[in-house]
């Protein structure tokens, strides 16, 4: 109950050793196989690079559940039960995603709230984010603003970061003063509420990846506001188009 209490109070929680070593190795190999076999065939809107001419700068994969392994993995009992326990109701998976900050890349994850993208009410949604590498402040750990999930969604505007189309423009020192961050070992999870403000810095290391796999879970009670969601999609497509990426 301590983890649930912390999640309800702070909007995030760190779960060390969420995956066993065997589970971690299985997932790492599946991600590597997906990148090798599937990425060359993906639509532009499902795979993002820092530099499209350099495959080693792969930074983000969306909708990985289109692959049979990850479609099946999205039903993994441990992940789903954890999400259900924290949201307090049955859940369904909204998506499987991969995030990386390759070595010596300068892109930051701008401060944002996931539910600004999802447009769900009530905001019964969370993300389980599992480290595939050692992740600390030097290679871009996530910073969370404590208690921000208990406040209204902040204003978002278009960002200049591919993969994160919207950001909070008035993020301030008072927000930073409420931040928490976690060093994660491979297999650790951080779980955050869909309304929790979070950001991440660049990867300043010379040769260390910063890879993670995430799944988004929606509680059965949550419904999408399609008017807001369609407005968001239009804005997101415009932002991607500015990078030369065609929308689905």
Give the total number of structural domains in the chain.
1
Confidence class for position 247, pLDDT limits 50, 70, 90: low
Question: Residue 162: which CATH number?
Answer: 2.60.120.620
Quote the pLDDT of residue 105.
Answer: 82
Q: Is the pLDDT of residue 122 over 90?
A: yes
DSSP H helical segments within 88-160, as ranges?
Answer: 114-118
Task: Report whether pLDDT(191) > 60.
Answer: yes
Q: Distance from first CA to last CA of the chain, Å, rounded?
A: 42
Would 45 be classed as within a structural domain? yes
Q: Is 248 inside a domain boundary?
A: no
* 202 CB-contact burial (10 Å; exposed 0-12 / middle 13-18 / buried 19+): middle
Q: What is the mean pLDDT of residues 6-35?
A: 98
Residue partners of 93: CB distance under 8 A and separation at least 6: 65, 74, 75, 80, 215, 216, 217, 218
Does some domain include residue 107?
yes
Q: Which residue has the higher pLDDT, 247 or 165?
A: 165
The residue-averaged pLDDT of 90-119 equals 95
For residues 236 and 165, is the Cβ–Cβ distance under 8 A? yes
Could you give the C-alpha distances from 172 to 40, 50, 111, 162, in angstroms and in order?
40, 27, 10, 22
Residue 18 resides in a domain: yes
The pLDDT of residue 100 is: 96
> How far apart are alpha carbons 14 and 191 in whole angstroms?
7
Q: Determine the pLDDT at residue 165.
A: 86
Range of the domain at 88: 2-241
Q: Is residue 205 domain-resident?
A: yes
Could you report the per-residue pLDDT of 134-145, keeping only the tens digit for each?
999 999 999 999
User: What integer best gives the mean pLDDT of the chain?
Assistant: 94
CA–CA dist 136, 222 (Å, integer):
33
User: Can you tell me the mean pLDDT for 43-64?
Assistant: 92
Residue 246 confidence (pLDDT): 73
Residue 246 lies inside a defined structural domain of this protein:
no
Residue 235 to residues 47, 112, 116, 138, 157, Cα–Cα distance (Å): 18, 15, 12, 32, 9
């Amino acid at each position: 109950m301590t983890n649930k209490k912390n999640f309800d109070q702070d909007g995030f929680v760190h779960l060390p050793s969420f995956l066993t070593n065997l589970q971690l190795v299985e997932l790492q190999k599946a991600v590597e196989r997906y990148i090798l076999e599937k990425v060359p065939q993906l639509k532009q809107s499902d795979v993002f690079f820092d530099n499209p001419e350099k495959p080693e700068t792969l930074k983000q994969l969306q909708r990985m559940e289109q692959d049979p392994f990850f479609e099946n993995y999205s039903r993994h009992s441990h992940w789903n039960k954890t999400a259900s326990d924290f949201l307090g109701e049955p859940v369904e998976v909204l998506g499987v995603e991969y995030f990386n900050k390759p070595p010596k890349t300068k892109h930051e994850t701008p401060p944002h709230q996931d539910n600004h993208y999802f447009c769900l009410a009530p905001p019964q949604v969370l993300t389980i984010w599992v480290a595939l590498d050692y992740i600390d402040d030097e290679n871009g750990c996530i910073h969370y603003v404590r208690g921000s999930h208990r406040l209204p969604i902040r204003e978002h505007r278009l960002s200049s970061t591919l993969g994160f189309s919207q950001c909070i423009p008035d993020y301030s020192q008072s927000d930073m003063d409420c931040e928490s961050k976690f060093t994660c070992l491979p297999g650790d999870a951080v779980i955050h509420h869909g309304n929790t403000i979070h950001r991440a810095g660049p990867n300043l290391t010379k040769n260390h990846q910063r890879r993670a796999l995430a799944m988004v879970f929606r509680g059965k009670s949550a419904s999408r506001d399609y008017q807001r969601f369609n407005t968001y999609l239009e804005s997101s497509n415009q932002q991607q188009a500015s990078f030369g990426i065609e929308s689905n």
